[in-house]
Chain A
Amino acid sequence: MSNAQEAWRTLGLGALGIALFLLAWELIGLNRLAGLSWPAFSTVIDYALQPPRYPMFGRAMGATFTTVAVGYVSGAVLGIVLAGAVHVVTWFRPGVDRLASVIHSIPPIALAPLLIVLINRDSTGIVIAALNVFFILYVATGSGLNASSKTHRDLFQVLGARPSTRLMRLDFPAALPAMVGGLKYAVPAAFIGAILGEWFGSSRGLGLLMVSAMQNFQIPLLWSAVLIASTSSLLLFGLMSLLEQSVRRRNR
């Protein structure tokens, strides 16, 4: 089977999978198989696509996406820069490695109340998202920077490369696939952080919408907010996968 055929097959099977998933959602909802809190897919779509509700969803999306974006970018920059720093100044690598692991092993849900007290309600999501993204990018970049082959490192040594030259011309380009892979997995992590932060009493966002819909038993609203958050996360994840594929092709 040719590559193009293979790609179409994958695409077709993927579309079929999504269709089956939506069909099951619809049937379970229509027949009330999972009780009142499981609406049909068509009910949720119908609810979300009412023009009078656009401003509400728009405001919530604006707030959540801003939190995600700020957390994602700052966490990624921090992770990449710190991984680069310990790659050059190796003696403080073990310490930073351990610190990152310790921070990562604290569940963000335990950290959130602390952050609310320390910072404020509206920035908590940014901090949790940034922490999540930071860890993924720190690990991905760190392993990526060591991905160059032994012969490449020998070559740079024989050519008389300074450490900074090697970092910019060998280690960093060799790390790109791993870094973009990290950026891909960091997308849902940033969404988790942002929405978790919003659950803890933020004044805006999809997370707030979810909590208030849940408490007021507005089932279609709850599912709409979840659907918007998941779809956005999946779309960004898909985009990063495409980027990752092209970077991997380039580095092969």
Chain B
Amino acid sequence: MHRHAILNASNNSNNERSTWAIDVDHVSKSFALAGGQSLLAIDDVDIKIAKGEFVALLGPSGCGKSTILRLVAALEQVNSGRVTINGRAPVELSRSHRLGVAFQDHALLPWLTVEANLALPFHVAGQSVDKDRIAELLNLVGLGAFGKARPSQLSGGMRQRVSIARALALRPEVLLLDEPFGALDAVTRQHMNIELQRIWSEQRITTLLVTHSVEEALFLADRVLVMSGRPGRVIRSVEVPFGRPRAPAVQRTSEFHALADELTLALEPEPAA
């Protein structure tokens, strides 16, 4: 099966090698349902992300935005179209340990300390553990003193920060964030957005963020793509005009509010009467 995937990728790249950091090229994906039916999750989605760009994928729940992220993460296979990361198939990148991912569920291993969790990507990649890198990451996410703690001793927000630090450990080519703060309360979530903004400004890694929060998308991303549901399609693309580094105060400007209103409206195709 693996050989098959590689063959497919090389066949495709014969046509032309994509120069985008992430290229979701006219992709459709359907899932088989019980009873022989199938559900079209996303339909002809076309997303190009440039190197070093932060793109937020915004949509209602069940619109297929997580499916797109899972296709980029090589966790699902496309039915038609193709996905490439710097011209290569996602499965090649995952196998060479070049993908960073953080989910809504922090997915830290409860039996390991924070440090050992950050060492996991090194072990999985068969590399020697870079202690300096782990210390650097802990400081980056503001948890320098918590290396010996267990995940169960941390707050929800701290766990998500460790999870993002783990995603960054091997300096991946792309960072994939699937609603990383979706399970946090509003206040913690706001804090985490400010933290992620700071962390990202220091790394400038190509990032795809899946979220259903308009404010989160606007505050963090360079570009926001709005999706409609069933089947999932990209219906709007909005360039975020705010520069970097982006101060939290940006969220209180009238321009931010106007954009937020516009995106919220785009999310609701039939506004309530």
- Which A residues fall within an 8 A CB radius of B? 149, 151-152, 154-161, 165, 169-170, 173, 176, 250-252
Contacts and interface: CB of A to CB of B under 8 A. Distances in A.
Given A158-B75, A169-B109, A170-B109, 8 more contacts: A154-B75, A154-B107, A155-B103, A159-B121, A160-B96, A173-B111, A250-B110, A252-B152
B111 A250 contact: yes
Interface in B120-142: 120-121, 123-125
20 contacts: A149-B105, A152-B109, A154-B103, A154-B107, A155-B101, A157-B75, A158-B74, A158-B101, A159-B120, A160-B97, A160-B99, A161-B124, A169-B109, A169-B124, A170-B109, A173-B109, A173-B111, A176-B111, A250-B111, A251-B111
Interface string B174-185: 001000000000
A30 to B, nearest CB: 52
Contact of B110 (A156, A157, A169, A252): A252
A158 B92 CA distance: 10
Interface string B70-106: 0001110000000000000000001111010101010
Contacts, number: 57
Contacts of B94: 157-160
B103 A169 contact: no
A250 B151 CA distance: 10
Interface of B: 73-75, 94-97, 99, 101, 103, 105, 107, 109-111, 120-121, 123-125, 152, 176
Given A149-B105, A170-B109, A251-B110, A157 B121 contact: no
User: Considering the complex of A and B, which 6 residue pairs feature the smallest CB-CB distances, nearest first?
Assistant: A151-B107, A151-B105, A160-B97, A158-B101, A161-B124, A160-B94
B107 A152 contact: yes
Q: Which of B75, B109, B176 has the most CB of A within 10 A?
A: B109
B122 to A, nearest CB: 10
B181 to A, nearest CB: 15
A152 B125 CA distance: 16
Nearest to A170: B109
Nearest to B104: A151
A173 B123 CA distance: 15
Contacts of A158: 73-75, 94, 99, 101, 176
Nearest to A161: B124
A159 B125 contact: yes
B112 to A, nearest CB: 8
A156 B124 contact: yes
A59 to B, nearest CB: 43
Contacts of B101: 154-155, 158
B190 to A, nearest CB: 24
A66 to B, nearest CB: 34
A165 B110 CA distance: 17
Contacts of A151: 103, 105, 107
A160 B110 contact: no
Contacts of B176: 158
A169 B105 CA distance: 19
B97 A159 contact: yes
A156 B166 CA distance: 12
Contacts of A161: 124
Contacts of B103: 151, 154-155
Contacts of B95: 160
Contacts of A165: 123-124
B110 A159 contact: no
Contacts of A157: 74-75, 94
A252 B99 CA distance: 27
A160 B111 contact: no
Contacts of B110: 250-252
A160 B125 contact: yes
Contacts of B97: 159-160
Contacts of B73: 154, 158
A252 B110 CA distance: 6
Q: Which of A151, A158, A169 has the most CB of B within 10 A?
A: A158
A37 B118 CA distance: 65
Contacts of B105: 149, 151
A59 B106 CA distance: 56
Contacts of A250: 110-111
Nearest to A157: B75
B109 A160 contact: no
A235 to B, nearest CB: 28
A155 B107 contact: yes
A252 B107 CA distance: 12
Q: Which of B96, B109, B124 has the most CB of A within 10 A?
A: B124
